[in-house]
Amino acid sequence: MIRFDNVSKVYPKQTRPALRDVSLEVEKGEFVFLVGSSGSGKSTFLRLILREERASHGQVHVLGKDLARLSNWKVPHMRRQLGTVFQDFRLLPNKTVAENVAFAQEVIGKSRGEIRKSVPQVLDLVGLGGKDDRMPGELSGGEQQRVAIARAFVNRPKLLIADEPTGNLDPQTSVGIMKLLDRINRTGTTVVMATHDQNIVDQMRKRVIELEKGRLVRDQARGVYGYQH
């Protein structure tokens, strides 16, 4: 699903690499936590998977494709097989919940019939059934993140990338979001989640990848958060 071969990333005008010689593999259906302090290279790692950045050295394979050889105009098609969730939800404030989710299908040209069928379905899945016509501003943080997850999942991606999805949420709400991500993972979707949330990592007991100053320092099955911050 994801393979990094000796990947380094140096941003222009910076001497210290953001990622240094990282090699790892994530199999189909896995749930992976990506941990590390700020500036450890977590975001760069995710941006490389999304092909927002290109690796300076080494190869990044996502969904069986070498991203270095993927031409620019094919990138959108690659991204359609990925779902993304962020700390700040990234919802469109002037569209309703249903429209926000439908947006992900409209921009890739799904028919109106398909959209009408799949949007209520996915809203039910994330536990927002009946809130189709609410505006994002009227929802709690946890509900907004559920909308974002619904949008990420509505096109049934093979891989879900989550960048600190619980970063803005209280512990109670975070547990709900994690249960949801776990359910999505059980449908066969691979989940890669960057997080700072110690409790969540310790409770879930999934694979943990730790980055420190751009290096891969730990790759542990059924791991724990492992360090104090």
Partner 1 sequence: MRAQFVVSEIGVGLRRNLTMTFAVIVSVALSLALFGGSLLMSDQVSTMKGYWYDKVNVSIFLCNKSDAESDPNCAKGAVTDDQKKSIMSDLDKMSSVVQKVTYESQDEAYKHYKQQFGDSPLASSLTPDQMQESYRIKLKDPQKYQVIATAFDGRDGVQSVQDQKGILDNLFGLLNGMNWAARAVMALMLVVALMLIVNTVRVSAFSRRRETGIMRLVGASGFYIQAPFIMEAAVAGLIGGGVACAFLVVARYFIIDHGLDLSHKLNLINFIGWDAVLTKLPLILATSLLMPALAAFFALRKYLKV
Catalog residues that contact partner 1 under the rule CB under 8 A. Answer: 50, 72-73, 75-82, 84, 90, 92, 103-104, 106-109, 112, 151, 155
Beta bridge partners of 26: 2
Cβ at position 162, least distance to partner 1 in Å: 12
Give 82 or 177: the residue with its C-beta nearer to partner 1.
82
Give 192 or 200: the residue with its C-beta nearer to partner 1.
192
Task: In whole angstroms, give the CA distance from residue 26 to residue 125.
Answer: 26
Give 92 or 217: the residue with its C-beta nearer to partner 1.
92
Cβ at position 136, least distance to partner 1 in Å: 12
- SS3 track for 22-87: EEEEECCCCEEEEECCCCCCHHHHHHHHCCCCCCCEEEEEECCEEHHHCCHHHHHHHHCCEEEEEC
Cβ at position 54, least distance to partner 1 in Å: 13
Cβ at position 190, least distance to partner 1 in Å: 17
Query: Coil, strand, or helix at residue 108?
Result: coil
Contact 19, 7 (CB under 8 A): yes
Q: Taking every pair of C-alpha atoms in the chain, what is the biggest distance, in angstroms?
A: 52
Give 65 or 213: the residue with its C-beta nearer to partner 1.
65
